[in-house]
Amino acid sequence: MHRVYLDNNATTPLAPEVFEAMTPWLTEGFGNASSIHWFGQQAAAAVEAAREAVAALLHCAPAEIVFTSGGTEADNTALFGVVDAAETSSGSKHVVTTAMEHHAVLHAAKALEKRGVRVTFVPVGASGIVNPEDIRAAITADTVLISVMHANNELGTVQPIEEIGRIARQRGIPLHTDAVQSAGKIPVDVDKLSVSLLSLSAHKLYGPKGVGALYVRKGTPLRPLLFGGGHERDRRAGTENVAGIVGFGAAAGLAMRTLNEEPERLAGLRDRLEAGILQSIPSVRTNGDLKRRVPNTSSVTFDFVEGEGFVIAADLRGLACSTGSACSSGSVEPSHVLTAIGQRPEQARSTVRFSLGRFNSQEDIDGALEVIHEVVGHLRRLSPLYAASGAQPHGTGAAVSSPPK
């Protein structure tokens, strides 16, 4: 069985170039980067070289990069670190974010609420893109942080961070963006975006799991999330994951080298996938803005198909993808992102995300289309709702897609 992997937004394969760069630091390069002897200084030099590579990807100074254990820690450090360091004349604090953030931001924001911080979760429309004016309207005299993701992990929609950044700069409020799903897929320039903080994760751009980074603009007040040694210029305690950081640097360099041609290739494959689905399967639609999105992501709702069942059936046929739902406490809840854009729970549970990557080919897409067509047909034949709907038989009729944006 030829397996096709279309779940790159969950994690990407480790690039061979990255593995090769990491290998020496898993064996002979074992020194602690904080040690002053030769072994430690070799490790420290490798960490700093990686810091320069990650900084180059974001067009920032290397000293503004703080290595973390991943995107979740970077997001939490940004939210808790800025809020804890902030002071207001009234003593109360307010954070502005959106209803479609990754849980690393949403759950951190809800934890801040339990501490007495007021949080505004700005809604988004059917496009999956927040209106900057809604962010402006949510700001109060006590607002100490705005956090809006760059690209959504489920829809791929790219948020207007430049416009939000200008609003934040005018009001003197730090802006954080979670760029885990945009870095390496589209250009990311912290000055153009006017962000004060930005989160990254290595395993989303062909690097290793367990390492990420937080960009912190010079002068941004930030209290550390972890306490211990003086690592990362007193911003993140803990011995550096040297091999992982080296891999992150190699992945950042790879992204820089491929950023001119790879997005266009991925967009072509994504469009081929969507066209194949929409032209051959009825009662199907894509979600979110079709133009303002990263090139590799497609969110598709298959009416009368249960998403978890689709993922399982597709996997048995060699296709890996994911749903827009998250499992919590043994029950499947509809995706907060999809309900935020107006989907009913049953629609959200019928939605599947396909996310492409560097190692996907046209043959992969054509093979995936065969599996998708087979799985949807099989599941709909088993669905009493589909039979009762009077919908056109599977494989006939025109598909319905989202209206042009």
Distance CA 242, CA 248 (A): 10
Distance CA 151, CA 403 (A): 21
pLDDT tens-digit profile of 250-268?
A: 999 999 999 999 999 999 9
* Of the candidates 136, 145, 141, 139, the residue with the CA atom closest to the CA atom of residue 90: 141
Domains of the chain: 16-258 (3.40.640.10), 261-389 (3.90.1150.10)
Is 180:153 a contact under the CB 8 Å cutoff?
A: yes
Instruction: Quote the distance between the C-alpha of residue 341 and its chain's center.
Output: 17
Q: What phi, psi does 14 have (nearest 5°)?
A: -70, 125
Average pLDDT, the chain: 93
Distance CA 12, CA 16 (A): 12
β-bridge partners, 320: 5
Residue 332 is predicted with a pLDDT of 66
3-state secondary structure of 10: coil
Q: What is the DSSP letter of 91?
A: S
- Identity (one letter) of the amino acid at 263? P
Q: Length of the chain, please?
A: 405
Is 212:74 a contact under the CB 8 Å cutoff?
A: yes
Per-residue HEC secondary structure of 243-292 comes to: HHHHHHHHHHHHHHHHCCCHHHHHHHHHHHHHHHHHHHCCCEEECCCCCC
Asked if the model's pLDDT at residue 396 lies above 50, the reply is no
The whole-model pTM stands at 0.94
**Which of 129-138, 365-374, 395-404 has the weakest average pLDDT?**
395-404
Asked if the model's pLDDT at residue 325 lies above 50, the reply is no
- Identity (one letter) of the amino acid at 75? D
Asked if the model's pLDDT at residue 330 lies above 80, the reply is no
Structure tokens at 392: 């056109």
CA pseudo-torsion sign 289, 295, 296, 302? positive
pLDDT tens-digit profile of 298-313?
A: 999 999 999 999 999 9
Q: Write out the E strands in 21-90.
A: 65-68
Residue 384 is predicted with a pLDDT of 84
Is 111:139 a contact under the CB 8 Å cutoff?
A: no
Q: What Rg do the C-alpha atoms of the chain give, in angstroms?
A: 22
Q: Model confidence at 333, in pLDDT bands (50, 70, 90)?
A: confident
Residue 328 is predicted with a pLDDT of 37
- Identity (one letter) of the amino acid at 90? S
Q: Model confidence at 327, in pLDDT bands (50, 70, 90)?
A: very low
Q: Which residue has the higher pLDDT, 404 or 128?
A: 128
Could you give the dihedral angle defined by the CA atoms of residues 249, 184, 156 and 280, in that order, rounded to the nearest 10 degrees? -120
State the CB neighbour count (10 A cutoff) for residue 22: 24
Q: Which helix (H) or strand (E) holds 332?
A: strand 331-333
Is 207:250 a contact under the CB 8 Å cutoff?
A: yes
Residues 6+ apart with CB under 8 A from 119: 94, 95, 96, 97, 109, 110, 112, 113
pLDDT tens-digit profile of 152-174?
A: 999 999 999 999 999 999 999 99
Catalytic residues: 327
Q: Which helix (H) or strand (E) holds 201?
A: strand 197-201
Is 400:35 a contact under the CB 8 Å cutoff?
A: no
Is 374:317 a contact under the CB 8 Å cutoff?
A: yes
